[in-house]
Amino acid sequence: MTPSPHHTPALPAQEVRALARALSAGDVTVFVDGTALRLPSAARDAVLDVLARLGRGESVSVSSGAGSPAAAVPAEAPAADAAPAGAGTREPTARNGSNMPLLTTSQAAAAAGISHTYLRNLTDAGIIPVEYRGTHRRIRLSDVEAWLEEQQAKSARGQQG
């Protein structure tokens, strides 16, 4: 069975503006059945490419082929010198020079499945490391994931005893 392409027409102007605003803020979180999901980089890039094209008011067709990765194809191919999706936007990165993206407290809380107030309390207590950009907290996803693993390990130890 050959999968049929899915075509999404251009969004209404109001939705284009809202989507473009959200993408320029860099606040992109994927939820599946209410659970924050960290996409593999190739999947994240594909989703952001589709969203960026919709945010520019373009219609988009998505299709896949056997043995090849899924492709997001615009109704009209962009010029060869077009900037890649996400160009001009930059996620904050750690001050130690690593390319590890830093999350806002809202993004980190969503990834952990906790309230942003509880997450701020954890950073205040030094339980989850935090970096500041001015007065704004930024948190590495790896630190959130490490805290979650620690919580799961504690829970497992508690159930055994």
The residue that leads in pLDDT, 29 or 90, is 29
140-143: long-range pairs with CB below 8 Å, 24+: 140/94, 140/100, 140/101, 140/102, 140/103, 141/38, 141/100, 141/101, 141/103, 141/108, 141/111, 142/100
Cα of 155 vs its chain's centroid, Å: 28
The per-residue pLDDT for range 58-85, each reduced to its tens digit, is 888 888 765 544 444 444 433 333 334 4
> Is there a contact between 68 and 32 (Cβ–Cβ < 8 Å)?
no
Entry pTM:
0.41
What's the CA dihedral at 89, 95, 96, 98 to 10 degrees?
-10
The per-residue pLDDT for range 115-145, each reduced to its tens digit, is 989 999 999 888 998 888 888 889 998 899 9
Q: If 0-12 CB within 10 Å is exposed, 13-18 middle and 19+ buried, where does residue 140 land?
A: buried
The per-residue pLDDT for range 16-34, each reduced to its tens digit, is 887 777 777 665 667 766 6
Question: Phi and psi dihedrals of 151, rounded to 5?
Answer: -65, -40
| Closest to 120 in 3D by CA, of 133, 103, 137 | 137
Which helix (H) or strand (E) covers residue 107, if one does?
A: helix 105-112
